[in-house]
Amino acid sequence: MVLYLIPFAVILAADQLTKLLVAGRLAVGESVPAVRGLFDITYVQNQGAAFGLLQGKKLLLIVITLAVFAFLIIYALRRDTSSRWLMWGLTLVCSGGLGNLIDRVALGYVRDFIDLSFIRFPVFNIADCAVTVGAVMMALYIMVEEHRRSEEDFFDGDPE
């Protein structure tokens, strides 16, 4: 489990450093091209959650984040922590969640800056990417694990 502290710290540091760099160089709403046709760097201060939900509900978002952390810790303690899929998923979700929680507590908003230019999509940050990829990994782990368990139950059940 300690092995995952290094990527956790790297993701958290990358998130906070990129947010600091963007906020220090761009005004809110300012945009500069990054990779033509792919994405721009656009500095946005998001006072809500994903897709602008729960705007201005800072305390509620902090409580939800802390509740998710508690659930994930309890979930991990009750599961097979030798599963790399589960542990990477937890690492990504928790490091990204903490990156956005730091912003929300310290600043009252989350600093977003990755602006996809090839589709209309909300501006996001590295923490959001980590949370999304981690959540998908955990969902896949849960689906595979539940499928495996249901097969075991079917074959291990007593015939009547």
What are the catalytic residues? 112, 128
Backbone angles phi and psi of 32, in degrees to 5: -130, 145
CA distance 20 to 24: 6
Rounded Cα gap, residues 87 and 77, in angstroms: 11
Residue type, 127: A
CB atoms within 10 A of CB 95: 25
Q: Which two tokens stand for residue 147?
A: 């499928």
Distances (CA, A) of 18 to 6, 50, 96: 18, 19, 13
Tokens 């928790």 sit on residue = 94
Alpha carbon 99 to chain centroid distance?
9
